[in-house]
Structure 1
Amino acid sequence: MATLTSLAVEAPSTQEHVSERTPTARRAVRRRPRWALWTALIVLGLFAFLPVYWLAVTSVTPERDAFTFPPRLFPSTVTFEHYLAVFQTPAIFEYLRNSIVVSTITAVLSVAVSMYMGYAFSKFRFRGRKSLMYFVLSSQMFPQALLLVTLYVVFAQAGLLNTYQSLVISFTTFTLPLCVWMLKGFFDTLPDDLIEAAKIDGAGPWRTFHSVILPLAAPGLVAAGLFAFVRGWNDFMFALTLAGPEKQTLPPGLVNTYVSEAATAWPELMAASLLVSIPVCAAFILLQRYLVGGITAGAVKG
């Protein structure tokens, strides 16, 4: 009995001791994930923005200081002569024009085709639907480099080499699968009651799609179009192989302009690369609201 009484007396004191330490332990548990999160964000930020910072620093560094060792994180002298050299190179503006033409047509054509395919996969039920959907997705499994020789032969026989058409067709072919699945996921989030209401009002399938569905699908269309635009803007391999010097886009054009067997003009190349990145960055900033909405719309089904 004495032992049980002593345990009963000691039990409250033990509970009070545990309750006193519990808030401290909870704060320690909360701090650890927070510190881990901030550390991960800093590491990811350095990984993402350090190359951009180095590109900007090299573009304003004089030629004589660009190859100093060890490299400097902050240039001792700032110069903008490399940017002036870029603006004084007429070929850069030709490559820029080609990139704008090819990327814009690729984006428009990819969206125009994928919106009908995505809507059909989302709202219609027909035989072979799932097989066709997975067939479209499986085309992304093949490395694009394997198809380059075949496309070169086909375009050569069709007389399309060194033309805008060869680049647009090849870029659109490789962007369609992802655009279709992206828009299919977006159309899945739109309720079928909208289609039923349009039918009751007397609208046909084409009128329903163009007047009711497409205005609501604007974020998805912008996301798919921006993806296709960036795909055409950044491509190097197909633009270098299928297009001649007069139709080449910026990626191979910059290499041909600033990279040679004897030497590479790194400061000018960095300045040109920074300048040609501005249109894509501006597009992302202006359309980020639609882009985020279009990408995440099909992530949750409900």
Structure 2
Amino acid sequence: MRKTALSALALAIALLFAFPTYWMLSSSLKPRGEVLSTSYDLVPTSITAQNYVTALTGSDFLRYLGNSLLVTLTAVACSLVAGTLAALAMSRFRFRGRKGFLLLVLVAQMVPFEALMIPMFLFMRDLNLLDRLPSLVLVYWICTLPFTIWSLRGFIDGIPVDLEEAAMVDGCGRAAAFRRVTLPLLGPGLVATSVFAFITAWNEFLYALVFMRDEDNRTLPVFLQTFQNAFGTDWGATMAASTLFTLPVLVFFLVVQRNMVSGITAGAVKG
């Protein structure tokens, strides 16, 4: 009875969190007149693809999609490379100022990046990076790097150092031991961290809105506001564009989710 009750509670919570997504999807398939209906139909009485046609052909959707993918993937890749090296140093080396650096990483993770809007804007202006996609890459890299370092440090701490020492006894240098032993075992940590970094950079709106005044360089979060005008908001097209907006994240998660839960380090050390 207790297991059944807990399962029912978990199912109810899952449905509660899944309902907004279902409502977005169902609203994207409704005709414009039914989207704002007060009947709140859970199942659309009529289905149309016109909202998706409007979202795809009403503006340069593919251009904005390409901008978002370019900026997000580049920022995530840079964050993983720099975060892995920094986390390795924090986990394996002992040096003066190590605890202070870890504290600074934690503080940087807790700082609301909206508070850094003005200094970041002035910094990008002085570097002549406004209205340029590299500015967003730099900002998203800064936003995701503290969590990447903090998270990967925990994963590296969970990998026995005996494995690296055994590889170095067999003739590997420290870099080769990390590349051949630790890095393959770090796969689940890299995947889990990359998912968080990807979602953080993909959903960012404020910096993309402020820094990208040229419409050709805008990203998908900024694109969603184009369906609002002086005559109201086209909610059907907005819901359709929002559904399309979630697909890259879903695809990215499905590609890497098998590695997120794999316990590769289990039983790695004999005895």
Match of 1:120 in 2: 89
Write the distance in 1 (CA, Å) between the matches of 2:126 and 2:65.
28
Match of 1:247 in 2: 217
Write the distance in 1 (CA, Å) between the matches of 2:75 and 2:262.
22
Match of 1:69, SS? coil
Contact 1:166–1:243 (CA under 8 A) maintained in structure 2: no
Name structure 2 gaps, 5 residues minimum: 267-271
Q: Does 1:54 align with 2:23?
A: yes
Question: Once structures 1 and 2 are overlaid, which stretch shifts more, 154-163 or 242-251?
Answer: 242-251
Write the distance in 2 (CA, Å) between the matches of 1:124 and 1:118.
10
**Aligned counterpart in structure 2 of residue 139 of structure 1, from 91, 104, 108:** 108
Q: Does 1:160 align with 2:135?
A: no
CA shift for structure 1 position 293: 4.3
Partner amino acid, structure 1, of 2:235:
W
- Equivalences for residues 199-214 of structure 1 within 5 A: 199-214=168-183
Match of 1:274 in 2: 243
**Aligned counterpart in structure 2 of residue 111 of structure 1, from 80, 84, 104:** 80
Question: Once structures 1 and 2 are overlaid, which stretch shifts more, 217-226 or 56-65?
Answer: 217-226
Q: Does 1:82 align with 2:51?
A: yes
Contact 1:95–1:253 (CA under 8 A) maintained in structure 2: yes
Write the distance in 1 (CA, Å) between the matches of 2:193 and 2:14.
26
Cα-Cα RMSD: 1.8
- Equivalences for residues 228-247 of structure 1 within 5 A: 228-244=197-213, 245-247=215-217
Q: Does 1:188 align with 2:161?
A: no
Write the distance in 2 (CA, Å) between the matches of 1:36 and 1:144.
41
Name structure 1 gaps, 5 residues minimum: 1-30, 298-302
Write the distance in 1 (CA, Å) between the matches of 2:71 and 2:172.
36
CA shift for structure 1 position 213: 1.6
CA shift for structure 1 position 229: 1.6
Larger radius of gyration: 1
Match of 1:292, SS? coil
Give the structure-2-normalised TM-score. 0.92
Match of 1:170 in 2: 139
Question: Once structures 1 and 2 are overlaid, which stretch shifts more, 85-94 or 157-166?
Answer: 85-94
**Aligned counterpart in structure 2 of residue 215 of structure 1, from 166, 184, 201:** 184
Write the distance in 2 (CA, Å) between the matches of 1:266 and 1:183.
40
Match of 2:233, SS? coil
CA shift for structure 1 position 253: 1.2
Match of 1:65 in 2: 34
Match of 1:70, SS? coil
CA shift for structure 1 position 100: 0.4
Write the distance in 1 (CA, Å) between the matches of 2:235 and 2:5.
37
Partner amino acid, structure 2, of 1:76:
T
Partner amino acid, structure 2, of 1:285:
L
Give the structure-1-normalised TM-score. 0.83
